[in-house]
Amino acid sequence: MTAATLAEVLEPAERGGYALAGLVVLGWEDAVAFVEAAEEAGCPVILQAGPGCRAHIPVPVIGKMMRHLADQASVPVVTHLDHGYTVEDCRSGIDHGFTSVMFDGSKLPISQNIELTAGLVEEAHAAGVSVEGEVGYVGYAEGAASAFTDPEEAARFDRESGADAIAISVGNVHLQTEKTDGIDFDALYAIEQATSKPLVLHGGSGIPPEIRRRLARETRVCKFNLGTELRQTFGASLRKTLDDDPNVFDRLTILKSTMQAMRAGVSEILETITKV
């Protein structure tokens, strides 16, 4: 199956009352594990290259790697450049095989955010690429504080930007290592009333599974971004491998040993949010 755009997988999710997982990729092994888990579940998956990944692996390399996996997969696979802080970041993704890009204008005044997003949408859609935008600011655990999404600004962004999906801030936080019951459903419902596009929650690792399930079934949240939770799984598996065999030293052997745990972790996530 060929690679899919974000719009192509989110629209059926919104109609069907389920959500998809945007999984942060940091290397070949985890990307393969994520796709294998999605194939086992029979559902689409979104492979994401965020700023950390792009600092480690050049965009032309990670773009081709993800597209290779997507084109070989038996389920739809979106290759998504996450948190492009400039239009040039996003253009690089479009030029190197990504089927979706996120322009993060969350720190900009809403008018500038809309203007830049709308210009990018025109270029991206002409190339067959989806665009995710953000209104409000999703903060970081032990870092910058969040600014909740203003429903009126979200409504304007929805009408004027042309973006295919909107990331919002309603109590979700990046890099959260512990599960917290911080989602403000009243704030979310106000945004839903004001908008029409699929909604995205970054910082999905901090949202408990039962809350993820409720959000997927009862709201227009169609995409959860997950990274920290999977890095924790990777780290625990890696430590166990090294503890079990102090003499193991081969990089390929060590990294391959983490793939089963990563597949299992993603399978649990998909069971919670994607299974109807």
CATH of the domain at 199: 3.20.20.70
Residue 1 lies in a domain: no
Tokens of 205: 């690792």
- Of 122, 138, 125, which Cα lies nearest the Cα of 99? 125
Residue 179 lies in a domain: yes
Domain extent at residue 181: 6-271
Residue 276 lies in a domain: no
pLDDT (tens digit per residue) in 205-224: 999 999 999 999 999 999 99
| Per-residue pLDDT tens digits of the chain, which is 276 residues long | 679 999 999 999 999 999 999 999 999 999 999 999 999 999 999 999 999 999 999 999 999 999 999 999 999 999 999 999 999 999 999 999 999 999 999 999 999 999 999 999 999 999 999 999 999 999 888 778 888 999 999 999 999 999 999 999 999 989 887 888 789 999 999 999 999 999 999 999 999 999 999 999 999 999 999 999 999 999 999 999 999 999 999 989 999 899 999 999 999 999 999 975
pLDDT recorded at residue 43: 96
81, 115, 260 from 157: Cα distances, Å: 20, 9, 41
Please give the Cα distance from 77 to 75 (Å, whole number).
6
Please give the Cα distance from 52 to 39 (Å, whole number).
26
Domains held by the chain: number = 1
Residue 92 lies in a domain: yes
Residue 212 lies in a domain: yes
- The pTM of this model reads 0.95
- Of 59, 81, 77, 56, which Cα lies nearest the Cα of 68? 77
Name every residue whose Cβ is closer than 8 Å to that of residue 240 and which is 6 or more positions away in sequence: none
Tokens of 262: 């990563």
pLDDT recorded at residue 146: 85
pLDDT (tens digit per residue) in 95-106: 999 999 999 999
pLDDT recorded at residue 80: 98
97, 214, 216, 218, 220 from 185: Cα distances, Å: 36, 10, 13, 11, 12
Residue 55 lies in a domain: yes
Residue 155 lies in a domain: yes
SS3 label, residue 169: coil
Q: Would you please indicate which residues are annotated as catalytic (active-site) residues?
A: 82
pLDDT recorded at residue 44: 97
pLDDT recorded at residue 178: 82
Residue 253 lies in a domain: yes
Q: Cβ–Cβ contacts within 10 Å for residue 26, how many? A: 18
Max CA pair span of the chain: 59
15, 68, 81, 158 from 96: Cα distances, Å: 31, 12, 10, 27
